[in-house]
Amino acid sequence: MNRLHPLRALSAVGRFLRRDKKAMVGSAILFVLLVIAAFPSWFTPDDPAAEIYNPGAGLSWAHPLGTTSFGQDVFSQLMAGTRQSVMIALVVGFFCTILSVVVGVSAAYLGGLVDDGLSLIIDVILVIPTFPLIIVIAAYTKSASFWTIVFVLVVTGWSYGARQLRVQALSLRNRDYLLAARARGEASWYIIGFELMPPMTSLIAANFLGAALYAVLAAAGLQFVGLGNVNTQSWGTMLYWAQNNEALQAGLPLWALAPGIMIAILGSALALLNYAFDEVSNPALRPVKSRRTKAVRV
């Protein structure tokens, strides 16, 4: 295993992604959503909260996705809601990843009792069903603000990544090149930062995406049952209002289905990129180019 400067590792990963169709599609979708999230006003023809339109209207040019029972424009709400979901995905993903990396790599690198203790904590958190826990926590705060949701999701979501990173760090830790670095007298922070972590880049990226995906789905679920702040603009709260007003039965299916489609799109983009990064870490998974189906010839 040769030394990889972290920047070179990143660029190698970038080159691979450009070749992989899944990664291309995922990145493209993500990019579009990021733009919408950053500049929602470009995409909202009407004020999303304004209840001034004809309630329960069907599709029309003025309202491409119809209106809600309250008279709001569904399409504008959809665009406005992008920001919250994208933000949750990125923020939670970011903090989860930092926590996973710190705990996972430390446990692997420090070994001994520290490793035992940290592993126990990681495994316990992994095993406890977190969604009921999130529900319970959110219930006590009544109307969870953005940062409360972030906090809860990060605390419950970091352990999966930590476990994966710990396993990989452990397998790398005893490789000869690291022992050589230690023998050379390199400082620990250098070894961890420049020798141990670069080969783990794709796994770290995959973890970030996985955490982001988890955050989007969990946050949507919380808001759907009314545990988020129901007065903000987000896809989850749209679903909440739609469900509470029996949108499906009232003949306004798009009100209920459209936000779900958006969540599915964001989720898919994250999942596709996640899988693409998995393939970087494990080349055996890459698509096989053969023209006919061939079962293993025995």
Partner 1 sequence: MTTPILEVRDLKVEYTTPSGPAEAVNGVSFDLAPGEFLAIVGESGCGKSTLLFSIAQLLTYPAKTVGGSVKFDGVDLTTLSAEELRGHRWRDISVVMQSAMNALNPTLSIGAQLADACRAHTDWDDEKIAERSAQVLTMVSIDTTHLKSFPFQLSGGMRQRAMIAMALLLEPKLIIMDEPTSALDVVAQRSLMRQVENLRRELGFAVLFVTHDMSVVSHFSDRLAVMYAGEIVELGATREVFDRPQHPYSSGLMDAFPSIVGEMRQLTGIAGNPPSLVNPPSGCLFAPRCQFATDECREFRPELITVQDHAVRCHLVNPRTR
Partner 2 sequence: MRFLVRRLGFLLVALWAALTVNFFIPRLMPGNPAEAILAQFHGRLNPAALKAIEAALGIGKHQSLVTSYVEYLRNTLTGNFGISFSQGNATVSSLISRALPWSLGLVGISTVIGFVLGTAIGGVVAWRRGGTLDNVLPPTFIIVSAFPYFWVGLLSIWLFSLTLNWFPSLGGSTATSTLSWSWGSFTDILSHAVLPAFTIVITSVGGWILTMRNNMITVVAEDYVKMARAKGLKPRRILWQYAGRNALLPNLTGFAMSLGFVISGAILVEYVFNYPGVGFLLLQAVNNEDYPLMQALFFLITVVVLVAIFFSDIATAFLDPRTRNNR
Q: What is the number of helices (H) and of strands (E) in the chain?
A: 11, 0
Q: Does 291 bind partner 1 (CB under 8 A)?
A: no
**Only segment of 8-16, 65-73, 194-202, 281-289 that touches partner 2 (CB under 8 A):** 281-289
- 2/290 with CB nearer partner 1: 290
Q: Degrees (nearest 5) of the Cα angle 159, 110, 130? A: 10
Interface with partner 1, residue 289, by CB under 8 A: yes
The candidate with the shortest Cα–Cα distance to 133, out of 250, 71, 218, 32, is: 218
- Is 141 a binding residue for partner 2 by CB under 8 A? The answer is yes
Residues 155, 92 contacting (CB under 8 angstroms): no
Three-state secondary structure call for residue 73: strand
Question: Using the rule CB under 8 A, is 42 a contact of partner 2?
Answer: no
By CB under 8 A, tell whether 252 contacts partner 2: no
Structure tokens that stand for 287 in this block: 């698509």
Q: Give yes or no for residue 68 binding partner 2 (CB under 8 A).
A: no
Question: Does 290 participate in binding partner 1 (rule CB under 8 A)?
Answer: yes
Say which DSSP state 45 is in: S
Cα gap 87→272, rounded to integer Å: 19
Is residue 211 a contact partner of residue 161, using CB atoms and an 8 Å limit? Answer: yes
- Pattern 237-276, partner 1, x by CB under 8 A: ----------------------------------------
Residue with tokens 């316990």: 124
Q: Does 118 bind partner 2 (CB under 8 A)?
A: no
Q: Does 130 bind partner 2 (CB under 8 A)?
A: yes
Q: What is the total residue count of the chain?
A: 298
Supply 123's token pair.
């495994």
d(CA 93, CA 97): 6
Binding residues for partner 2 restricted to 142-181, rule: CB under 8 A: 160
Query: Which of residues 231, 284, 288, 291 is near partner 1 by CB under 8 A?
Result: 288
Out of 7, 113, 127, 298, name the contact with partner 1 by CB under 8 A.
298
Token digits of residue 240 = 């909440």
56 lies in the binding site for partner 2 (CB under 8 A): no
The first and second tokens of residue 99, run together, are 């926590």
Which residues would be at the binding site for partner 2 (CB under 8 A)? 22, 120, 123-124, 126-133, 135-141, 160, 213, 217-218, 220-221, 224-227, 239, 243, 248-249, 253, 256-257, 260-261, 263-264, 267-268, 270-272, 274-275, 278, 282, 284-285, 287-290, 292-296, 298
Which residues would be at the binding site for partner 1 (CB under 8 A)? 288-290, 294, 296-298
